[in-house]
């Protein structure tokens, strides 16, 4: 599903600022808020940090955007268009997306049965000592 459909499905206005946030996050580079703000300013030089925070909070409230808590300080941001796991590198702080396997889908369904409810977002993160980038 695309960003416009996600916004409309969540009864949100499709604004240039929100589209810019989602476009940047859809690159799956997992920016911090400061990095996201610097990227958005390239398209909207006069945008304030407060406007970015306001729109991010709205997107987080709907579950479209979420924070990945890292061991290296500031949380990283990601868009939630489909279920996926995260690998966090302990050495360099990089965050990588990994598609869910059938086993994780099965586990989510098992948890839903246990709690007798639907899981809106199933977040899985794994920390590794070093990543492919650090090996080189």
Report the interhelical angle of 33-43 vs 16-25 (nearest 10°). 130
pLDDT of residue 50: 95
Instruction: Count each helix (H run) and each strand (E run) in the chain, helices first.
Output: 6, 5
**33-89 tens-digit pLDDT:** 999 999 999 999 999 999 999 999 999 998 889 888 887 778 899 988 777 888 999
Whether residue 136 is predicted with pLDDT greater than 70 in this model: the reply is no
Task: Identify whether the C-beta of residue 91 lies closer than 8 Å to the C-beta of residue 129.
Answer: yes
In CATH, what number is assigned to the domain containing residue 115?
A: 3.30.1490.190
How many structural domains does the chain have? 2
Mean pLDDT of the chain: 88
What pLDDT was estimated at residue 134? 85
Dihedral sign for Cα atoms in the order 39, 26, 87, 71: positive
Q: How far apart are CA 90 and CA 7, in angstroms?
A: 34
Q: Domain range spanning residue 91?
A: 82-136
Q: 104 with 65, same domain?
A: no
What size, in residues, is the chain? 136
Is pLDDT of 94 > 70? yes
Q: Do residues 57 and 87 share a domain?
A: no
Verify that 91 and 70 share a domain, yes or no: no
């Amino acid at each position: 599903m695309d960003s416009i459909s996600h916004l409309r499905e969540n009864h949100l206005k499709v604004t240039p600022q929100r589209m810019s946030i989602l476009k940047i996050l859809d690159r799956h580079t997992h920016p911090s808020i400061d990095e996201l703000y610097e990227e958005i300013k390239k398209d909207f030089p006069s945008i304030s940090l407060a406007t970015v925070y306001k729109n991010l909070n709205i997107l987080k409230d709907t579950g479209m955007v979420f924070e990945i808590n890292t061991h290296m300080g500031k949380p990283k941001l990601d868009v939630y268009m489909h279920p996926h796991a995260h690998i966090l590198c302990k050495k360099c702080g990089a965050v990588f997306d990994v598609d869910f396997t059938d086993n994780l889908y099965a586990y989510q369904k098992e948890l839903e049965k246990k709690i007798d409810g639907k899981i809106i977002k199933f977040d899985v993160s794994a920390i590794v000592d070093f990543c492919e980038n650090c090996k080189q």
